[in-house]
A = this chain, B = another copy of it.
Amino acid sequence: MINKLVDKIKKQNAPIVVGLDPMMKYIPQQVQKAAFDQFGETLEGAAEAIWQYNKEIIDHIYDIVPAVKPQIAMYEQFGIEGIKAFKKTVDYCHEKDMVVIGDVKRGDIGSTSEAYAVAHLGKVTVGNTKISAFDEDFATVNPYLGSDGINPFLKVCQEEKKGIFILVKTSNPSSGEFQDQLIDGRPLYERVGEKVAEWGAQCMGDDYSYVGAVVGATYPEMGKVLRKVMPKAYILVPGYGAQGGTGKDLVPFFNEDGLGAIVNSSRGIIAAYAKEEYAKFGAEHFGEAARQASLDMIADINGAIGR
């Protein structure tokens, strides 16, 4: 799956992923109204609004954007109905041949971690039958529990040719509270980065590993170091746009081949229609605004990395 992701990034010349984090406040009124008219102000109504919103955005970007990253929390908060909308979104993106990175940040140990890996990337055994549950292509994983939490994911990745992105240095202001603490003079995130390289060596695609890392755009200096620590890991970079990262901040995350990083934007794309810059599209054309914002983001990043 890392090969497919790299191929799509090359073909579309677009090292970006669109975060499908459909907060209700982003969803245009007409979409909410139509869903509530049909299902009432219920979890089912919210799920329908999310699904219609996502579908319109996907329809407008699938030919120019290689991957999407649905944030499962935004669906999980609407309970079982929300989870259904998550699954529908994953399936629809696959119909459109997009790579799906499930932003699930799961992490546990042993058989529990295996169950999460199976849930999101593998197939579960029921009697003598094997069945996919959510079937994303990649999942994000939390490393706090160590190798016991990661190894079950590696096993499923090897079987299914799927991948993970492990949290290394997150984009938020307080990420340093634990991640930056110095151990023998070097920060914890570097040690996690070293383990990512080690785990990744067991799961190599053609040029890059199935095991990638999450490093926030808001910390370009740390990105520079981590790029060297784990040269074969694709870096998923959140924090562009709304969280403050700019095109120029992204340069250190890429390798000299112009690859090695995929930059996420969520509300900057899916709620572009609400920004002054794209106001001309109007709320009813939020899909077109998302497309234009994607094109602008691709141009910004490609310009910065001289691609």
Seen from chain A, the residues whose Cβ lies within 8 Å of a Cβ on chain B are 21, 23-24, 32, 36, 41-43, 45-46, 71, 73-74, 76-80, 82-84, 87, 105-113, 115-116, 118-119, 124-129, 131-134, 142-149, 167, 170-179, 181-184, 188, 191-192, 195
Contacts and interface: CB of A to CB of B under 8 A. Distances in A.
Nearest to A176: B146
A79 B121 CA distance: 11
A167 B183 contact: no
Given A24-B125, A77-B118, A145-B174, 7 more contacts: A43-B133, A76-B134, A77-B124, A78-B126, A79-B119, A144-B178, A178-B191
Contact of A126 (B41, B106, B183): B41
B124 A78 contact: yes
Given A142-B142, A173-B148, A134 B178 contact: no
Contacts of A23: 111, 115
A21 B112 contact: yes
B80 A87 contact: yes
A83 B82 CA distance: 11
Contacts of A191: 178, 181
A203 to B, nearest CB: 18
A268 to B, nearest CB: 14
Nearest to A182: B183
Nearest to A133: B79
B147 A174 contact: yes
7 contacts: A74-B112, A78-B126, A79-B133, A109-B172, A144-B179, A147-B174, A148-B175
A97 to B, nearest CB: 22
